[in-house]
Amino acid sequence: MRPFRPEPLTDFSKEENIKAIKDALENAKRNFGKRYPIIINGKEYKTDKVFGSFNPAHKNELVAEFYAAGEKEADIAIESAWKAFEFWRKFPAEERAGFLFKAAEVLRRRRFEITAWMVYEVGKNWVEADADVAEAIDYLDYYAHQMLELAGNRPLAHIYGENNEYFYIPLGVVAVIPPWNFPLAILTGMTVAAVVTGNTVILKPASDSPMMGYLFMDIMREAGLPDGVINFLPGSGGSLGGYLVKHPKIRMIAFTGSKDVGIWIYEEAAKVRPGQKWLKRVIAEMGGKDAIIVDNEIDEKDIPFIANQIIVSAYGYQGQKCSAASRLIIVEDVYDKILSAVVEEAKRIEIGDPAENKFMGPVINESSEKKILNYIEIGKGEGKLVFGGEKMRGGIYDEGYYIQPTIFADVPPNAKIAQEEIFGPVLSVIKAKDFDDALRIANDTDYGLTGSVFTRNREKIYKAKCEFHVGNLYINRKCTGAIVGVHPFGGFNMSGTDAKAGGPDYLLYFLQGKTVSERL
């Protein structure tokens, strides 16, 4: 077995790859509008409620329809998952890992197909969607390798007259509630972490990306995963998701999404309800208000690179990443130079249909668009609008949820747009007196997910390592693009429980330790 290596990204400068993605996009479009079932214990279920998944680039374009699960289907799925748990938990770790390795191979073969569906369903361009698929492959491979390392007895101290063992066992039924912004990668990571450790899963995909959940299920079935190990329940986040969180037979909840929902899940999961025999375990990743600090000790020749990294961090996938830069904190000596370079770089951003691989596409839906535009209006009263600030209109822009990349300068550190998460293409630029002041401003937020520091001063780099209170800190590079097994990902404070996805201890959240001591 080869050691884990991150999956390479697709090179879209090659003609064969351009042809492959265009063919996949055309094929996906030919299959628009089909209706897909709930899947419980390998069986398909239908209900009298149906909801649609629409292309945010062309908001009236129906990608797919799904039968919506309710409490009845959730109860059936939970019972089925507990029955499956009785046999699945006894599968050797090597066999469970084997299903993940097989699924990774299936996903590699179907890579362009899945990428194309993602482009349409959530408005990612080719590069962003392909990276999402590559990350899903990485989770399958990495967690399979990690489980093999955790299998068997752990080393213990020896005492005379006893045989002592310590090993890990699974928890039970896990409710997985993933987000739409990494609709395959995060969904895959949370689900297969539960599965490879011997748990069974109720998977409730995000309402904006159910097709990604269905395709994931199809991949796992093609890999031969036994029925009932994963149960697919598309439906309402509020009602269905809430029912799963409160259900006494749910052992653990794995969630990625907004702070407000994450806090609610954390509170509700802490309540012990009738028939519940455990304290529920929760892992939650809840977003950020991520800052990039630019120090005055930088090389002049590095400014174009720094500006590029800021733009990629702030506007990659329309700023709809929990790791996206939404605050740019610049030491006053270089404030004007950096701000000017960032604005000039923003002017070069191509905005359009992600199916044509434009750098920026639409935001996910009408509700998100309204919320972002409302923050932009607030920002006009809090800072100086130096770029963007409008909904895009005319031609293709009227067909989707397109917002200009927006930059506010001279933003007070305590402004709403500098404190509250804006899941969209809005960057607040803040002036700092010096590096210490920049760190203070960066830390003055409820969140603590990602951050970047640009400086050539080694003492300041060390100071940032010690004092910049984020789960993922990047030095002289962008603050997005964490790679599985390379950059274990998770944040502090209201960014979540810091369960480091793609890290060496992540699977332990899905396991419990058991000690067996035998007198000889």
Output phi, psi for 422, to 5 deg: -115, 110
Helix axes of 185-196 and 93-109: crossing angle, nearest 10 degrees: 160
The SS3 of residue 99 is: helix
Helix axes of 210-222 and 93-109: crossing angle, nearest 10 degrees: 120
Q: Please list, in sequence order, all residues whose beta carbon lies within 8 angstroms of the beta carbon of residue 69, skipping any fewer than 6 positions away.
A: 38, 45, 47, 77, 204, 233, 234, 235, 240
Are 469 and 422 within 8 A, CB to CB? no
Q: Which of 154, 213, 190 is nearest to 515 (CA)?
A: 154
How many angstroms separate the CA atoms of 85 and 514, rounded? 18
Beta bridge mates, 511: 170
Options 135, 322, 382, 479, the catalytic residue: 322
How many angstroms separate the CA atoms of 4 and 341, rounded? 39
Beta bridge mates, 451: 291, 473
Q: How far is CA 385 from CA 368, 391, 411, 513, in A?
A: 21, 14, 10, 54
Written as one string, the DSSP assignment of 374-403 is HHHHHHHHHSEEEE--SB--SGGGGGTT-B
Options 73, 285, 345, 382, the catalytic residue: 285
Return the C-alpha torsion angle 273, 279, 285, 290, nearest 10.
Answer: 100
Q: How far is CA 147 from CA 7, 126, 266, in A?
A: 19, 32, 27
Are 47 and 67 within 8 A, CB to CB? yes
Q: Classify residue 152 as left (phi > 0), alpha (psi -120 to 50) or beta.
A: left
How many angstroms separate the CA atoms of 277 and 516, rounded? 22
Residue 16 bears catalytic tag: no
Written as one string, the DSSP assignment of 27-49 is HHHHTTTEEE-EEETTEEE--S-
Looking only at the bridges linking them, the beta strands covering 34-36 and 62-67 are parallel
Residue 479 bears catalytic tag: no
Residue 276 structure tokens: 């519940």
Number of H helices, E strands in the chain: 15, 21
Q: How far is CA 508 from CA 153, 281, 471, in A?
A: 14, 12, 18
As annotated, the active-site residues are 285, 322
